[in-house]
Every structure is written in structure tokens, then in C-alpha cells.
Structure 1
Amino acid sequence: MSEITFQVDIAADRTRVHEALNSHDGLTGWWTTAVNREDEILFFDFPEAPEPFRLRRDRADRDEVRWTSVGAFPPHWSGTVIAWRLSDAPAADGTRVLFRHTGWPDEDPDLPPAAYTWGMLMTRLKQYAETGTPQPLFTL
């Protein structure tokens, strides 16, 4: 199986980064303006997507936020796991984020464009956590 991995140091404390990954205001501040929740299922709507992405929140503590894709759309995400591990940034005050999106079939043609999008999203997460200014990549 293949995976997408990024590491970024964010000049914000762990609580602020955790809130950006685990709250409605946080997620709409850097990812998409259309986020809904039913119990532990998060629904993410995107322009031109025929239905929302459905992600089950499996873990949301101080050190890790982890979701599993439980929807049929997009089909190449089905069963994949998205995780952010949070730790102290070693060189300065702030938070180190290790991002992983695992469970992709080897040589999946959708992996490269997904990796590109996640790279842009990690930049938006960093900007949002550091400034508090919403700049979601996707808006509806």
C-alpha cells in the first residue's frame, strides 16, 4: 500500500493546531467551508463533488487526530486513514505536525493529484493556525 506523508512545523501551540484539525471553525478555516458532523462522522463538501466525503473520527486527542474514510466517494479514498501526529517542534516554540494519508493501492493514478492537494492543504493549515485568519482551499 502507498501513502502520502508530510511534516510541517507550525508556529502555534498544540492546542491551537488541534482545534484547527478538530473543530468546525478550524476545519472551515483551512480546508473547505462546507463541513458538517453527525456523531463521529464528518461530512466534507467540495465544488464539483457529487456527494460529500465521509470520514469517521477515530481519534482526537492532544497528540493525534485520525480519521477513516467510510464513504463510497471518492472511491479511491474508501478505507484509507488520515492522521495528524502532533508533537513539540524541536527548534522553536510551536508544533510539529506529521501528516499521513495511508492505505492507497499501489500505483493508484489518483495518488499524485491527491498528494499535491494535501500539500496545498498543509500550507493552509499552517497559515490558519499561525494567523487565525481563515483561508480555506475550497469554498462553496
Structure 2
Amino acid sequence: MSEIAFQVEIAADRKTVYEALNTHDGLTGWWTNGVDRKDEILLFDFPMVPEPFQLRRDEATESRVAWTSIGAFPPHWSDTTITWELSDSPELDGGTRMLFHHRGWQDGDPGLPPAAYTWGQLMTRLKEYAETGVPQPLFTL
């Protein structure tokens, strides 16, 4: 199985990064302004995409946020897991080190390279949102 991974140092405390990953305002601040929630199922709408991505929130603490893709769309995301591990940054006083993983991709999946590119852009947006509080979602409806 293949995975996408990033390590990002963020000049914001863990609570701020956690809220960016776990609240409606946080998620719409860096990913897409099309976010909805039904219990622990997060629904993400994107322009030109026929149905929302469905992600089940499996864990949400100030040190770890974990989701599992449960929807049929996009098909190459099915049963993949997305995690963010949050800890104190040794490089930024009062900052957060974020380790991101999107695991469970089939080896050789042609959707992996474009997803990795998009996640890289999203990690930059997440970092900027957590540091400034200024919403700039990558996708807008």
C-alpha cells in the first residue's frame, strides 16, 4: 500500500490547528467552503465533482485527528485513512508540528500523484489559515 505524507511546522498552538481540522469554520478556512456534517460523517463538496466526499471522523483530540473515507466517490479513496498527528514543534516556540498521512492507496494507483499534489497545496492553506486566521479555501463553490 502507498501513502502520502507531509511534516509541517505551524506557528500556531495545537488548539488552533486542531480547530482548523475539526470545526466547520476551520475546514472551510483552508479546504472547501462546501462542508457539511451528519453526526461523525463529514461531507465535502467541490466544484465540478458529482457527489460529496464522505469521511468518517474516527478520532478528534488535540494530538490526533483521524478520518476514514467511506463514500463511493472518489473510488480510489475508498477505505483510505487520513490522519494528522499534532505535537509541540521543536523548531517554533509555541508552535505545532503536524504529521499528515493519507494511507491505504493501492500501489500504482494513477490517482495518487494528483492527490499528493493537491494535499501539498492544502497543507500550505492549512498552515496559513492556522497562522493568520484568514480563510482562503483551495476550493470554492
Q: What TM-score does the superposition give when structure 1 sets the normalisation length?
A: 0.99
Report the equivalent of 1:81. Answer: 81
The gaps in structure 2 that reach 5 residues or longer are: none
For 1:54-65, what aligned pairs fall within 5 Å after superposition? 54-65=54-65
The gaps in structure 1 that reach 5 residues or longer are: none
For 1:25-104, what aligned pairs fall within 5 Å after superposition? 25-93=25-93, 94-104=95-105
Contact kept, 8 Å, 2:8 with 2:98, in 1: the verdict is yes
Q: What TM-score does the superposition give when structure 2 sets the normalisation length?
A: 0.99
SS in 1 for 2:134: coil
1:34-77 CA distance string (max 9 Å, x none)? 00000000000001110000000000011100000000000000
In structure 1, C-alpha distance between the alignment counterparts of 2:32 and 2:61, rounded to whole Å:
22
Which of structure 1's runs of 4+ aligned residues deviate more than 2 A? none
SS in 2 for 1:119: helix
Q: CA RMSD in A?
A: 0.4
Contact kept, 8 Å, 2:9 with 2:91, in 1: the verdict is no
Q: How far apart are residue 91 of structure 1 and its match?
A: 1.5
Identity %: 74
